[in-house]
Structure 1
Amino acid sequence: MLGCAAMFGSEILDVAIGVMFVFLLVSLIASAVREGIEAWMKSRATHLEQGIRELLHDPRATGLARSLYEHPMVSVLYHGTYEPIDTITWWTTALTRNKKLPSYIPSRNFALALMDMVVRGPVVDAGSSHADSGVISTEQLRSNIGRLGNPAVQRVLLTALDSAQGDLETVQKNIEAWYDAAMERVSGWYKRSTQALLFAIGLAAAAALNVNAIT
């Protein structure tokens, strides 16, 4: 009797180990396929670009978003020229145009680029009288904010200046904090899309391998 019970228990253990191994295999397959798709489509870069366009209130990427990506503090992070992703056919645009856009932009690079654009203007205007305006100061930032032509971002920068009480480093940190908060939301978009894709891949892999934990 005890021998039968031990044999039965051993069979259950073997089945449990087998099921765990199969599900681990499916999980590894799903993760590998997901990473392959990411390397091919650069969806992190796509979500980042869309997030920056939303943050800078530039949905068509014809103003601040384009200027930011073309600024040396950001353009150094990728190869080629910046071409906005179409918000409707983003997947085809990502395949053909944005394979080299950055998947991550440090908050420091973002803040310094934005501050420089406020004082000196876009890179395309490097020959203007503002291009060699010397060291950036809080006074210059405040007096040139109106040049942005973007009321929402102007309001954010004025708030960053007011709370900094004349300290340029604090202004930079305030802009970085604003950017980081927006990037947390972008990370949420990416995680949700990743979870949905992993579920679909796992389901397909389970069907292909005929995985059935019930029978």
Structure 2
Amino acid sequence: MAAAPRVYQGAMLSVYVDLALGLAVTFLLLSLLVSGLNEAVVRLLSIRSKFLWAYLRDTMDGAGAAGSWLPARVRDVFTRLPFLHDPRPRYSDLPAPTEAGAVPDPRAKTDDSMIKLLYERVREIDHAKRGRTSIADIPPGRFSVALMELATSEDGDVERFLAKLKAAGSPLYGHLKGVWETAQRDLDRFRQGVETWFDGEMQRLSLLYKRYVKWVLAALSLLVTLGFTMDGLEYAKTLLRDNAFRASVTAVSEAGPDAYNELKARCTGADPVHCVTETMSQPALVRMLGQALVSVSIPEEGDPSVDWNGSTWWDRLLTPSHWPGFLLTYVALLFGAPFWWDVLRRLTGIRSRR
């Protein structure tokens, strides 16, 4: 008699595992869609490159604004993207000049004089993108070499270079002055110090970029949730119903005609074979995604068709009973694809290879 409870517990455990797997796979797929849309937006608008050059303009030429937690040009990347302001230099296909340009006289200084000098030293790794530079990452070693070339353009006198930066009001002066004093006026140690400092600044910039991306991912997750009207609670119930239906079909095949009555409610007035086939060929995820604003249907015969579900989608969107499920899906997508891949890997026992 003890075997029956064990079989029942095993069946219930299987149901819960199927439910967890279905939810994990669905949230993983939708999270990948969100990540793909985010990457498309980032590449289309060249956001990584804009972040880098906005920061470099703030650091080298200065554009700070009092009372702001972000420098002005970096703040522009947040508030003015994608159309109103582009901090990147103009693209040039010329190689770096043999001699580095000198820091201009403070009276003739422009808002991007230091940026132009830096770009001259690194533009050999560049390629055009709509008339602007596409450089989105400058290795710390490459930056330190470029800065040393600028510093030694003053007849090898770093002190004179720093004095010109101070006279021009460049925020770079304070950083380099500290590095120069720490290096005890040794050029090689100064170069290494600049490389270490710039590496730390790039890590800080990465934190700002991640903060920006979080807002973008949150907005895209909301759009995906509402665009597909993906009700997480309704989807979980649908998974459980599908599991019960499969159990009923199995009971018919194993127990014979006595178990057929359990299928009548699902297949009333329809050929049971066709009903079972049709239900099994449309898993819960397909049925849920079929209620999106635009869906694709594949008939038994003929070509696939794209359907506009505007009225159905709007009715689901305005139904309060779906809102908790929408909220569940939205919060799940905020965890991101790596989280749901890790959950799926743990449920299935897939080992991670690094």
The TM-score normalised by the length of structure 1 is 0.73
**Cα distance, 1:18 vs. partner?**
1.0
Moved over 4 A (4+): 3-6
- Confirm or deny that 1:141 pairs with 2:158: yes
Instruction: For residue 192 of structure 2, give the secondary structure of its aligned residue in structure 1.
Output: helix
**1:34-61 deviation digits (Å, cap 9, x = unpaired):** 2222221111111111111122243384
Structure with the larger helix share? 1
Q: So what's the TM-score if we normalise by structure 2?
A: 0.46
CA contact (8 A) 1:58 1:64 kept: no
Find out whether 1:210 has 2:258 as its counterpart.
no
Q: Distance in 2 between matches of 1:170 and 1:101?
A: 31
| Cα distance in 2 for residues equivalent to 1:209 and 1:16 | 20
> What does 1:28-177 align with in structure 2 at a 5 Å threshold?
28-59=32-63, 61-69=111-119, 71-72=120-121, 74-80=122-128, 97-98=131-132, 100-120=133-153, 133=155, 136=156, 140-148=157-165, 149-150=168-169, 152-177=171-196
Structure 1 CA distance for aligned equivalents of residues 17 and 30 of structure 2: 20
Provide the rounded CA distance (Å) in 1 between the counterparts of 2:189 and 2:208: 29
The percentage of counterpart residues that share the same residue type is: 24
Shift of residue 5, structure 1, vs aligned partner: 4.7
* 1:13 match: 17
Cα distance in 2 for partners of 1:29, 1:118 equals 47
Name structure 2 gaps, 5 residues minimum.
64-72, 74-110, 235-354
Q: Distance in 2 between matches of 1:50 and 1:151?
A: 15
Aligned length in residues: 182
The higher relative CO (CA closer than 8 Å, separation ≥ 6) is in: 1
**CA shift at 1:167, angstroms?**
2.1
Residue correspondence of structure 1 range 169-188 to structure 2 within 5 A: 169-188=188-207
Q: What is the rounded CA distance, in whole Å, between the counterparts of 2:170 and 2:35 in structure 1?
A: 43
1:4 shift after superposition? 5.0
Stretch deviating more after TM superposition (13-22 or 143-152): 143-152
Cα distance, 1:97 vs. partner? 4.6
In structure 2, distance between residues paired with 1:9 and 1:166: 70
Partner residue, 2:26: 22
RMSD: 2.4
Instruction: Provide Cα deviations, 1:140-190, integer angstroms capped at 9, x if missing partner.
Output: 112333233235423332322222123211101111222222212210121
The answer to whether the Cα contact below 8 Å between 1:30 and 1:202 also exists between their aligned partners in 2 is yes
The alignment partner of 1:177 has SS state of: helix
Q: Is the 8 A contact 2:59 2:171 kept in 1?
A: no
Gaps of 5+ in 1: 81-94, 121-129
Judge conservation of contact 1:51–1:182 (CA < 8 Å) in 2: no
Structure 1, residues 58-88: CA drift from partner, whole Å, max 9, x if none?
338422123212x23x1112135xxxxxxxx
Aligned partners of 1:146, 1:172: CA distance in 2, in Å?
Answer: 18
Determine the C-alpha separation between the residues in 1 that align with 2:204 and 2:54: 11
Contact 1:160 1:171 in 2 (8 A): yes
